[in-house]
Amino acid sequence: MRAMHIAAPGGPEALQPTDWPVPEPGAGQILIRIAWAGVNRPDALQRAGAYDPPPGASPLPGLEAAGHVAALGPGVTGWELGDPVCALLPGGGYAEYAVTSAAHALPVPQGMALREAACLPETLFTVWSNVVTRGGLRAGERFLVHGGSSGIGTTAIQLARALGARVFATAGSPAKCAACAELGATAINYREEDFVEVLRAEDGADLILDMVGGSYIPRNLRALADDGRLVMIAFLEGRTAEVNFAQIMARRLTVTGSTLRPQSELAKARIAADLRTQVWPLIEAGRLSPVMDSEFPLDRAAEAHARMESSGHIGKIVLKVA
């Protein structure tokens, strides 16, 4: 099959076309003939050599895709050959075929094109597990997401709004702020405004989803309301910070975080089951859909990565495979 592999860790040009064997589905797995593959920031980290695939995963990049079921491994039930499917992948999405656990695959929501469906899994698994399961977001709460125009951010805004939260989002340009506002967030251009002041004027955030880290860590704590929760999902600025832990005690704050890829098969299957019952109805009711930035053919994945790393994009970047 055609695939894009990481020839050697480096910049976007490290992504090179290659011929690769079609993977075989093992017990409990399905083989997907991929039509579209989503591009995510962790793919760029993997390409740069900063995010190794977990043991047993394909070394090819690509954490999500949509297409059709092409083969069933032993013991798989609930899927038929030819079913349209979108799925979280352990890796290997930048290719014509990929295998994944049948329990990490979801039906393409009614009325949605495969191009959009390919952009659902990685962001929704991440946002659901961190904002709802871990972060405990409830209706009526104030929720702040950093990187509001990112794939993760645009999904988090929509999901939090659909759950009845009041949403604030930071972004780095007027166009990105406009995109966040259109999705229902109060947008904060962090180059012009201090998000801590904006949130403190509103009595603080009950929950913050942060992918920036570094200097944002102590500022996030200041922006939280009493009993507020901070959930870390990435460290684009930095992994370390000096923090006054006394405020965590005095104001009963919770600091937590998670990363999706190394979690167990069972943990991901539980997230998929939650998405199917709690989020797929919202998608099918038109309350949540991926914000699409751009598409590139599979063999131009390097350009897709360059666009993502330029941070010029708003929403999701996708690769056309078939």
Ligand X SMILES: NC(=O)c1ccc[n+]([C@@H]2O[C@H](COP(=O)([O-])OP(=O)(O)OC[C@H]3O[C@@H](n4cnc5c(N)ncnc54)[C@H](OP(=O)(O)O)[C@@H]3O)[C@@H](O)[C@H]2O)c1
Of 101 and 126, which CB lies nearer to ligand X in the complex structure? Answer: 126
**308 touches ligand X (CB under 6 A):** yes
Q: Which stretch binds ligand X (CB under 6 A): 70-78, 178-186, 200-208, 233-241?
A: 233-241
Distance CA(283)–CA(311), nearest Å, equals 26
- Torsions phi, psi of 116, nearest 5? -75, -40
Return the residue nearest ligand X (CB atom).
150
Binding to ligand X (CB under 6 A) within 255-284 occurs at: 258-260
**215 touches ligand X (CB under 6 A):** no
**158 touches ligand X (CB under 6 A):** no
Query: Are the C-beta atoms of residues 62 and 90 closer than 8 Å to each other?
Result: no
**145 touches ligand X (CB under 6 A):** no
Q: Report CA-CA distances (Å) from 258 to 27, 160, 221, 234.
A: 28, 18, 18, 9
106-135 mask for ligand X (x: CB under 6 A)? ----------------x---x---------
**152 touches ligand X (CB under 6 A):** yes
Q: What is the DSSP string of 22-83?
A: PP---TTEEEEEEEEEEE-HHHHHHHTTSSPPPTTS-SS--SEEEEEEEEE-TT--S--TT-
Question: What is the smallest separation between the CB atom of 258 and ligand X, expressed in angstroms?
Answer: 6
Distance CA(94)–CA(91), nearest Å, equals 8
SS3 296: strand
Distance CA(86)–CA(168), nearest Å, equals 29
**Position among 98, 211, 288, 292 found at the interface with ligand X (CB under 6 A):** 211
Provide the binding-site residues for ligand X, judged by CB under 6 A.
40-42, 122, 126, 147, 149-152, 171-172, 176, 211-212, 233-234, 236-237, 258-260, 308, 311
